[in-house]
């Protein structure tokens, strides 16, 4: 049985840990608000850009379609971009994204596809390297960035585009965590190349809306599709940031509560041991007095 001094040290240690987890919870809560606002602010622009591309794509068919829209016509070589966190202490946030990506990767491998992986975030790299070290072609460390902008997403989009234009991949899919609320972050697979055009997107402007484009639709798409790729990646990174802080806030709240339960349990055990020691000393004193 632990001595009273050891039990006091345990209680002090858990109290110190509780202060740290409580502080991390408060910091995550403050950062969550800013990250959530940034993620929600980016969605209308990304949605509107997708609508414009859908409207343009409806007028482009056959050989005139840009490669990023039409694709190569094959699906033998796949590039999986896994965007997760650069830091831990956020529960199962990164693990849920990696698990969804691994399911897709394993399915493609069983089908005989050639699979390459690009990791965004140190935690994704660490988990995937254990199983698919020979398939990882690039990894991006974003820990130095305090906020995500187009300048952060652009190198990732450029690398993906280079691999596609070089003929190394046919299909590019991005895995990230879509932020819905503080308690709900959903691992999501988004196909980046060939660009997925929603069927009803072009009709959102109304049946009577008719546009004439200058220059041609093909030329405009050549410019918009690379920008759309960057915007989609940026939107995913912003969703990831909001989801990370939400998961970290929840994890630190649970850790703080668990620390409180441990403190209560150790304090009760300490009081019982102290009372037992006092009782034993009293019995020894009384027994000694009676012996005299």
- Same domain for 11 and 49, yes or no, is no
- What sign does the dihedral 190-194-199-201 (CA atoms) show? positive
Contacts of residue 120, defined as CB under 8 A and 6 or more positions apart, other chains included, come to 81, 82, 83, 84, 139, 140, 142, 156, 237
pLDDT of res. 148: 85
Q: Is residue 38 a part of any domain in this protein?
A: yes
* Predicted confidence band of residue 103 (pLDDT cuts 50, 70, 90): very high
Backbone angles phi, psi at 174, to 5 degrees: -105, 130
- Same domain for 104 and 231, yes or no, is yes
Per the structure, the complete domain to which residue 257 belongs is given by: 4-23+252-285
Q: Report how far residue 132's alpha carbon sits from residue 80's, in angstroms, rounded to the nearest whole number.
A: 12
CATH (domain of 9): 1.10.287.80
β-pairing verdict for 114-120 and 77-83: parallel
3-state secondary structure of 138: strand
- Same domain for 71 and 167, yes or no, is yes
CATH (domain of 185): 3.40.1380.10
Please state, for a pLDDT cut of 70, what percent of the chain lies above it: 91
Q: Report how far residue 125's alpha carbon sits from residue 239's, in angstroms, rounded to the nearest whole number.
A: 19
Overall average pLDDT of the 59-79 stretch: 77
- Same domain for 216 and 134, yes or no, is yes
Per residue in 198-228, pLDDT (tens digit) is 654 444 444 445 666 667 777 788 888 888 8
- Same domain for 189 and 50, yes or no, is yes
Closest among 108, 87, 84, 109 to 95, alpha carbons compared:
84
Contacts of residue 212, defined as CB under 8 A and 6 or more positions apart, other chains included, come to none
Q: Is residue 130 a part of any domain in this protein?
A: yes
Burial (0-12, 13-18, 19+ Cβ within 10 Å), 61 = exposed
Q: Is residue 134 a part of any domain in this protein?
A: yes
Contacts of residue 288, defined as CB under 8 A and 6 or more positions apart, other chains included, come to none
- Same domain for 37 and 127, yes or no, is yes
Domains held by the chain: number: 2
Res. 167: pLDDT tops 90: no
Burial (0-12, 13-18, 19+ Cβ within 10 Å), 78 = buried
Residue with tokens 């691992």: 187
Residue 193 β-bridge partners: 172
- Same domain for 126 and 269, yes or no, is no
Overall average pLDDT of the 126-142 stretch: 88
- Same domain for 262 and 191, yes or no, is no
Res. 102: pLDDT tops 80: yes
* Position with higher pLDDT, 172 vs 288: 172
């Amino acid at each position: 049985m632990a001595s009273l001094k050891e039990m006091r040290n345990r209680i002090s240690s858990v109290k110190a840990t509780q202060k740290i987890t409580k502080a991390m919870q408060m910091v995550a809560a403050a950062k969550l608000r800013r990250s959530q606002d940034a993620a929600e602010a980016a969605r209308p622009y990304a949605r509107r850009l997708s609508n414009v591309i859908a409207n343009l794509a409806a007028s482009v068919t056959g050989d005139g379609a840009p490669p990023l829209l039409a694709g190569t016509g094959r699906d033998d070589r796949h590039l999986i971009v896994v965007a997760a966190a650069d830091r831990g202490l956020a529960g199962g946030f990164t693990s849920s994204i990696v698990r969804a990506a691994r399911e897709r990767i394993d399915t493609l491998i069983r089908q005989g596809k050639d699979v390459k992986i690009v990791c965004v975030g140190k935690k994704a790299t660490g988990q995937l390297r254990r199983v698919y070290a020979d398939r990882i072609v690039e990894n991006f460390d974003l820990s130095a960035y305090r906020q995500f902008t187009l300048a952060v997403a652009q190198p990732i989009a450029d690398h993906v585009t280079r691999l596609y234009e070089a003929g190394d991949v046919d299909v590019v899919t991005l895995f990230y965590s879509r932020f819905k609320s503080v308690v709900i972050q959903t691992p999501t697979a988004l196909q980046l190349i060939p660009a997925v055009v929603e069927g009803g997107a072009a009709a959102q402007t109304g049946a009577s809306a008719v546009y004439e484009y200058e220059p041609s639709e093909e030329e405009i798409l050549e410019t918009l599709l690379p920008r759309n790729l960057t915007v989609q990646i940026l939107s995913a990174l912003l969703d990831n940031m909001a989801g990370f802080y939400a998961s970290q806030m929840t994890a630190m709240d649970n850790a703080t509560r668990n620390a409180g339960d441990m403190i209560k349990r150790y304090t009760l055990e300490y009081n019982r041991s102290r009372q037992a020691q006092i009782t034993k000393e009293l019995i020894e004193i009384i027994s000694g007095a009676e012996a005299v």
